[in-house]
Every structure is written in C-alpha cells, then in structure tokens.
Amino acid sequence: MEAISHAGTVMGVLAKDGVVLAAEKKVTGKLLDLSIAKEGGYGGSGEKIFLLNNNVVAGVAGLTADANSLINYARQAAQRHLFSFNEDIPVEQLAQRLCDLKQGYTQYGGLRPFGVSLLYAGYDPHYQFQLYHSDPSGNYSGWKATCIGANNGTAQSLLKQEYKDGLSTEEAIALTIKIMSKTMDSTTLSSEKLEFSTLTLDPTTKQPLAKIYKPAEIDALLAKHGIEKKEDDVAMAS
Amino acid sequence: MECSFALVGKGYVLVAADTTAARSIVKMKSDEDKTKVLSPHLVMTYSGEPGDTVQFAEYIERNIRLQHMRNNHELRPQSSAAWIRRTLADSLRSRHPYSVNLLLGGYDEATSTPHLYWIDYLGTIASVPYAAHGYGSYFALSTLDRYHNPAASLEEGLRTLRRCIDEVANRMAIGVGKFKVRVVDKDGAREVELPPSVSVA
C-alpha cells in the first residue's frame, strides 16, 4: 500500500465509446535507454501500461517486479479463457482472476502480498466498455473515472468535479490530459513522463481496438491539447 | 432409431429430439426427454451411447449453470459451443471417451441473434442454419434444403420441422415415434407443440 501511494499516477476515464488510460512514468533520466520503448512495443509502452489481451489494457502502480509477474499471469489467464471458450475474456472475469491470486497472498502466511494496484480498461459484449480498479488485498470495483498512485486524492476530486456522464473518447482524452497535467509533480508534461492508451471499437470490424501511444504520438497529443514544453517556457518567460 | 433435428428461423432456434429409449430391437420407453435446457437461452439435444448421453449432458448442464452463477450472466452460445466441443475433444483423447452427438441451439442476448451448432462425438463443430443427427439426417436434410427459410416465423419453422419428421416417418423402415420440441428466442427456452401432420399426396 505504501509503495502504491508513491508510485506514478495512473488515471482511467470511461467514455461512452471508449476508455482512456494515462500513466505517469517515474523512472526517467538522460541515461535510461528507451530505444525499445520508442516503438511503443507490442505489449506496452514501457513502464506502466500493458496490453493484457485484445480487449483489455492495464495500468499498474506499485512494485514493478510484482506488476510484471501479475501481468504475465493475466495474459496467461486471458489466453486460457480464449482456449476454452473461443472468446475474449470478459473484463470483470479477468479482474476477478487477478484478485483471486492477490487475495490468496493475503490469506496464507509466510508470503508477501503483491504490492500492486491495477486499472483495467476493457471491452466485452456483455457490459461494453468498462473500467476496473484492483488493490493488493484483492478487492476490485468498477469505475466511471478513477486514479491510483501518487496524488490520487487530488486527481480523484478533480475527476469528481469535471467528469460528466456520456463523454466521448475525445473528450475523455482531453479531460485525462488536463487533470494529469495538474496533478503530476513535474511541471512539464511530455512523452518522457507520460504513458497513454485508449481502448475503442474498430469502426469497420466493431472489434475492440487497444491503442498504446508511441512517444511521438503522445507529444503530438499533448501539443494538440495545448500542453507542451515550449508553450510552458513561453508562458514562464512572459 | 435415434434422430434429432434443429433449425434457425427469424430470431429463434428450434430443436427436436425423438423420445424413444431402445435397447437392441426392444423399445423400452417412449417418453424419454433427450433435450436439456442448459441456461435460460440455451438448449441442447443429445444422442449416442445410452448412459454416456445422460452423464455427459448432466455434466455440461451443471458446468454451464456454474458459469451462469459465477459471472452473473449466461455464457454466450458461441462460447458454450466452444467449451462443449473442447470437453468432447478432450474426452475423445482420454481412456474412456464419451460417445455423444449434440445439437446446440441458443439465443445470444448481446447481439440478439439465434445460433445453432452441430457437434458430434469426435469433437467436430459446425455453425449451421439447420442440422440433424442420426438416421433421420439421411432423409430430413434434403427436406430442410428445400424448405428451410432463415427469415421464417415460428409457425413456418414448426411446419418445416413437421415436414422433416413426417418424411422420416414415411421413409424409414423402423418407426421413430414422438418428438420433443423446444424453441429458444429472446424470451428464453420453452417447449412447443408440433402442428398436426399434413398428408402428402
């Protein structure tokens, strides 16, 4: 729990035609080799956002090593479901799977629980777009918009003020960026500090489409929403 | 001789199975229900090795029920079919395989569409507009070819089903007896009565 409140902020916002997930990267620096993350990668963009299945993206806050192990478990659980039922795993079932595992570690002695909170952004035909949060104890709950990690209280109250039902994905993206820029410790937002992803439906196939933004795309998105390094510098100078 | 039929119409699936329990040449029973309602929008007919059939059908029934209880929603017909097929395929490769043939009819509430799957004991699966198992399939498939209409109302569908059963009764050397008919649509699964036979000139 302690580790999570220090971890980079992860925010999720549910829209009527999609889900948005954004995360603050903590491990940065000039010497960090991001050449792999540059391309966005297949499963994730680097530190905090990962593709669990075709229809689910997750953002993690907490101990990275524990998170990696959970993500591996989630991906296997999703593939097992696909093998048995020939369908993408429903989002809640995947969250449940992970929570069963997490709960187990709180019950048996001698082992340390997973120090990880997750946000799951997903789609399934039963309940359409969904956003879930799970904590180390194995509790999970569904949300319209929520936030985990450092400053989650501030972000949460901002979300409470600004969230409106029936947002479009575009509006949800704008809201996410706005609140992330307000709550993050760093003054300047850039792809070095931010991870971003959306889950929508492919307009032609109507199948879930997970998009984890590449660094260049994040910078373009930030520029589009008027949050940019240069602008901040200009503002400060004037 | 065991036989079962099923067909998809406009917003519904009809399944029918004969009700004879026979051993060798002796008819033991004439009101055996060889259908099962697996969940509110899913029905199945089963045939094959006596004993295996009931055992397997109950196993399937209870697992589908379990899925429903655990997840607060029904398993969709596609997923149920995939899981049942997998179970049969695993069984086939075990020491004591089940020898059971199934017709699975369901209504998918997420997309509001009816689905029908033909599944045999080898773990073959086919999503089809109409289907039959047993000796009846040799007679009835041509009838279904001719008369099946995916946009037909329930009354028309029942008439087509009646034609199939009459065809089998007319042509098969051994009588097939009565049929149990169930329909699944948006309102769920229920038993329906067949319309009376129309005499063919």
Residue A40 has a CB neighbour count (10 Å cut-off) of 21
**What number is the average pLDDT over the span A201-229?**
89
- DSSP letter for B75, please: P
More confidently predicted of A186 and A42? A186
Judged by average pLDDT, the poorest of A33-37, A105-109, B38-42 is: A33-37
Task: Report angle CA B100, B104, B109 to the nearest 5 degrees.
Answer: 155
Rounded to a whole number, what is the distance in Å from the CA of B154 to chain A's nearest CA?
27
ipTM value = 0.91
Chain A contacts to B (CB-CB under 8 A): 83-87, 90, 92-93, 125-126
Contact present, B36 and B42 (Cβ < 8 Å): no
pLDDT, tens only, A123-158: 999 999 999 999 999 999 999 999 999 989 999 999
Q: Identify the segments of chain B with pLDDT beneath 50.
A: 201
pLDDT at A194 over 60: yes
> Taking the domains of chain A in order of start, what are their residue ranges?
2-237
- Spatial neighbors of A178 by CB under 8 A, at least 6 apart, are A162, A225
**What number is the average pLDDT over the span A36-60?**
79
Four-residue CA torsion sign, A7, A8, A12, A18? negative
* Contact across the interface for A126 and B73, Cβ inside 8 Å: yes
Q: What pLDDT, on the 0 to 100 scale, is given for residue A3? A: 77
Q: What pLDDT, on the 0 to 100 scale, is given for residue A234? A: 47
The CATH number of the structural domain formed by A2-237 is 3.60.20.10
**What number is the average pLDDT over the span A32-55?**
73
The residue among B60, B71, B87 with the most chain A CBs within 10 A of its CB, best to mutate, is: B71
Contact present, A174 and A104 (Cβ < 8 Å): no
Chain B residue with the nearest C-alpha to that of A90: B71
* Contact across the interface for A85 and B73, Cβ inside 8 Å: no
How many contacts does A have with B, using Cβ atoms within 8 A?
A: 23
Please tell me the distance from the alpha carbon of residue A133 to that of residue A15, in angstroms, as a whole number. 16
Tokens of B90: 């695993």
* Contact across the interface for A90 and B71, Cβ inside 8 Å: yes
Identity (one letter) of the amino acid at B174?
Answer: I
Which residues in chain A touch residue B110, judged by CB atoms under 8 angstroms apart? 125-126
**What number is the average pLDDT over the span A53-63?**
95
Q: What pLDDT, on the 0 to 100 scale, is given for residue A238? A: 45
- Spatial neighbors of B124 by CB under 8 A, at least 6 apart, are B118
Rounded to a whole number, what is the distance in Å from the CA of B79 to chain A's nearest CA?
5
Beta strands in chain B (DSSP E): 3-9, 12-18, 21-23, 26-29, 35-39, 42-48, 100-108, 113-119, 125-127, 130-134, 179-185, 188-192
Which residues 142-181 of chain B have a CB within 8 Å of chain A?
Answer: none
Residue located via tokens 């593709």: A51
Tokens of A187: 């003054």
Q: Shortest CA distance to B67 belongs to which of B51, B84, B54, B45?
A: B84
Grade residue A38 by pLDDT with cuts at 50, 70 and 90. low
Q: What pLDDT, on the 0 to 100 scale, is given for residue B166? A: 94
* Contact across the interface for A126 and B82, Cβ inside 8 Å: no
* Contact across the interface for A84 and B110, Cβ inside 8 Å: no
Which residues in chain B touch residue A93, judged by CB atoms under 8 angstroms apart? 71
Q: What pLDDT, on the 0 to 100 scale, is given for residue B197? A: 87
Q: Shortest CA distance to A115 belongs to which of A79, A53, A64?
A: A64
Contact present, A60 and A71 (Cβ < 8 Å): yes
Rounded to a whole number, what is the distance in Å from the CA of B80 to chain A's nearest CA?
7
Q: What pLDDT, on the 0 to 100 scale, is given for residue B198? A: 77
- DSSP letter for B50, please: T
Which residues in chain B touch residue A83, judged by CB atoms under 8 angstroms apart? 86
**Phi and psi (nearest 5°) for A182?**
-80, -35
Contact present, A202 and A46 (Cβ < 8 Å): no
Q: What is the 3-state secondary structure (H, E, C) of chain A?
A: CHHHHHCCCEEEEEECCEEEEEEECCCCCCCCCCCCHHHCCCCECCCCEEEEECCEEEEEEECHHHHHHHHHHHHHHHHHHHHHHCCCCCHHHHHHHHHHHHHHHHHCCCCCCCCEEEEEEEEECCCEEEEEEECCCCCEEECCEEEECCCHHHHHHHHHHHCCCCCCHHHHHHHHHHHHHHHCCCCCCCCCCEEEEEEEECCCCCCEEEEECCHHHHHHHHHHCCCCHHHHHHHHHC
Please tell me the distance from the alpha carbon of residue B131 to that of residue B143, in angstroms, as a whole number. 11
Grade residue A227 by pLDDT with cuts at 50, 70 and 90. low
* Contact across the interface for B78 and A90, Cβ inside 8 Å: no
Tokens of B76: 């969709």
Strand partners, A21: A12, A197
Which residues in chain B touch residue A84, judged by CB atoms under 8 angstroms apart? 82-83, 86
**Phi and psi (nearest 5°) for B76?**
-70, 155
Per-residue CA distances from A232 to A72, A190, A236, A237, B201 (Å): 39, 11, 6, 9, 90
Chain A residue with the nearest C-alpha to that of B67: A93
The residue among B64, B67, B72, B73 with the most chain A CBs within 10 A of its CB, best to mutate, is: B73
